[in-house]
Amino acid sequence: MGEVVTNFQTYEQAKQNACAVLGNNFTPVRADPYKGRLGDGTDQIVGIELWDRARKVARIRLDLDVPKGIHMNTEDWQTNTTRKTASCIQGTRDKPTAENAVLYSQYVKALYGLEGMTIWTWWKTGSKPVQ
């Protein structure tokens, strides 16, 4: 199955959708910070890997590329097939690459030093908890 791409007006909406696609009742047992491996996010926390009791079941990460602009990628491994979604921030698709890079960098900096469950709660609820 191919990637499902959906557009949202705001970063908050995109983050919440990236979590919601895992299911309304989904609650991870553990969430580990995920460091980027490419581009501007290399070696920086850009997302989380989510676990049930025994295995990694999903990854959600912030991404920047053309033509999607800034978006959240969700990879869901809860079933036997991988489901991939991209929750795009609509206004970033048409911005110059340099402008998007600055905004992406600000979003990544906001994740620095956060624990995985803190990121999960923030992205799912829209409220950044104090850790």
* pLDDT one-digit tens code per residue, 61-108: 999 998 899 999 999 998 877 899 999 999 998 888 889 999 999 999
Range of the domain at 89: 4-123
Question: Burial, 107: exposed, middle or buried (Cβ in 10 Å; 0-12, 13-18, 19+)?
Answer: middle
129 belongs to a structural domain: no
State the virtual CA torsion across 57, 6, 109, 99 in degrees, nearest 10. Answer: 150
Q: pTM for this structure?
A: 0.92
128 belongs to a structural domain: no
pLDDT digits (tens, 9 = 90+) for 35-70: 999 888 899 999 999 999 889 999 999 999 988 999
* Measured CA angle at 111 (ends 40, 3), to 5 deg: 60
The tally of domains found in the chain comes to: 1
CB 50 within 8 A of CB 59: yes
10 belongs to a structural domain: yes
pLDDT confidence tier of residue 131, bands split at 50, 70 and 90: low
pLDDT of residue 1: 62
Q: Which two tokens stand for residue 34?
A: 């995920």
Tell me which of 100 and 131 has the higher pLDDT: 100
103 belongs to a structural domain: yes
pLDDT of residue 44: 95
130 belongs to a structural domain: no
